[in-house]
Amino acid sequence: MAPDVRSAYSNVVAAAAQLIASIRPPASTIVITAIQFHVPSCLRAAVELHAAEVLRDAGLQGLHVKSIAAPTGVYSGKLGTKLAKLYAFSINGTPARILRLLATNHIFTEVSPDVFANNRISSLLDTGKPIEEIINSPQDKYHGTVGIGALIEHATDDAFKTSSFLTDALTDPKWTSSEEPNQTALNLAFKTDLTAFEWFELPENARRLRWFGLAMKANQEMTPQDEILGGFEWKSLPPGAVIVDVGGGIGSMCLTLTKAHGHLSFVLQDREAIIKDAVKFWESEFPFAIISGRITMQRPKTQLVILDSIVSYACREPSSSITGSSFPPPPAPLLANGGYANSRGYLMDMQMLTGFNGSERTVPQFDKIFDEGGWKLVKVHRRPGTFSHIIGVPK
């Protein structure tokens, strides 16, 4: 997408959200915000009930909630009053109420009372797999897919529960100033002394770990492909140059680069449990890259290192000489930081804090980290509404 188009839609989104905040009564905004957690809770239910897949073939006419809930056998007795039955989501009630809240937030469409259909947003949840296959092999639901459903399950389960303990961790006298990765909201939520990654790798959390890896893939898939292709002059690297993707998950970013730049080789690094899934991913998506040695899981001498979001997980904490370190703010009266259109970065910052005692960082903070590690931050590649790419070189 062209930078001017991306900037324009970011301004429109920010303006729409600011207009709502300005017009709606303050009390309504506060209360709705306080109980908005029910939306991700319902989103998880819809994903685990495979609602998008069930509705796939129903088209615009949709299906009644009884048909939507039938494949999973969800209990239909929680309908409430007779009046509620007319407007409930459930399988006979509960699903209708769940889907109705989502439809009110423009996820799914309620065609008529208790009849729902997919729309352009809910369709993103559809794995494209037959519902029978999903029911028979739920552990493979997201394999071979973009992984958005896995991202939703991770966010609305692990991260959702973790975030609810943010204040508990913050106000604990022993933990309030701690930067240890095993003294977080996640530790309180799941009653563990392990770090997040150690906890994910427990045998009983095998499904959570798989979904986490696929969630990282989805995160990359939702980023415009030209973001990584345009963030660095890849053609300037000599033939045979080796790029190491540190903390690269299953290697979605490397896959994009491998297909676009045949003269480069790549090394994917991550925790052992993630690499096992990475091998399966590459064997499925681009087996020739493994056979030819263009992608490996070992570390030879390298020309370039990609720190693929991993600095966010670090627990330790503007230079005018850095190209692109500043950018023009949105037009007044929009918030200088881009407002709602730029909220993803702030939400991810809370993910890092609650799960890892880490953080998303500003350019000056990255500059400091690079300096402490013997590197120099030289360029920031920015595009409105997306994450920035930072380029550093050894001193």
pLDDT tier at 306, thresholds 50, 70, 90: low
Write the CATH number of the domain with boundaries 37-125.
1.10.10.10
For the segment 262-294, what is each residue's pLDDT rounded down to a tens digit?
999 999 988 888 888 889 889 989 999 999 999
Measured N-to-C along each axis, helices 206-221 and 272-285 cross at an angle, to the nearest 10 degrees, of: 50
* DSSP summary character for residue 327: -
Residue ranges per domain, the chain?
A: 37-125, 143-220, 225-307
Is the confidence at residue 229, as pLDDT, over 60? Answer: yes
pLDDT given at position 190: 98
Is the confidence at residue 307, as pLDDT, over 80? Answer: no
For the segment 193-225, what is each residue's pLDDT rounded down to a tens digit?
999 999 999 999 999 999 998 888 788 777 766
- Min mean pLDDT across 114-128, 144-158, 324-338 is at 324-338
pLDDT tier at 34, thresholds 50, 70, 90: very high
Say if residues 294 and 265 touch (Cβ distance below 8 Å): yes
- Whether the full predicted model's pTM is greater than 0.75, yes or no, is yes
* DSSP summary character for residue 351: H
Identify the CATH homologous superfamily for domain 225-307.
Answer: Vaccinia Virus protein VP39 (3.40.50.150)
What is the CB-side half-sphere exposure of residue 166 using CA atoms within 13 A? 10
- Min mean pLDDT across 132-141, 317-326, 365-374 is at 317-326
* DSSP summary character for residue 98: H
Handedness of CA 140, 141, 144, 147 (dihedral sign): negative
pLDDT tier at 324, thresholds 50, 70, 90: very low
Q: β-strand 242-246 against 265-269: which pairing, if any?
A: parallel
pLDDT given at position 87: 45
SS3 label, residue 231: coil
Question: Higher model confidence: residue 373 or residue 310?
Answer: 373
pLDDT given at position 273: 82
For the segment 76-122, what is each residue's pLDDT rounded down to a tens digit?
433 222 333 444 444 445 678 899 999 999 999 999 988 999 999 99
pLDDT tier at 13, thresholds 50, 70, 90: very high
Average pLDDT value over all residues in the chain: 85
pLDDT given at position 32: 98
pLDDT given at position 75: 56
Is the confidence at residue 182, as pLDDT, over 80? Answer: yes
For the segment 377-387, what is each residue's pLDDT rounded down to a tens digit?
888 877 655 66
Q: Where are the alpha helices (DSSP H) in 237-377?
A: 252-260, 272-285, 287-291, 343-356, 363-372
For the segment 50-85, what is each residue's pLDDT rounded down to a tens digit?
999 999 999 999 998 888 888 887 754 332 223 334
Say if residues 162 and 354 touch (Cβ distance below 8 Å): yes
Is the confidence at residue 325, as pLDDT, over 60? Answer: no
pLDDT given at position 224: 67
Is the confidence at residue 309, as pLDDT, over 80? Answer: no
CA-to-CA distance for 285 and 250, rounded, in angstroms?
Answer: 11
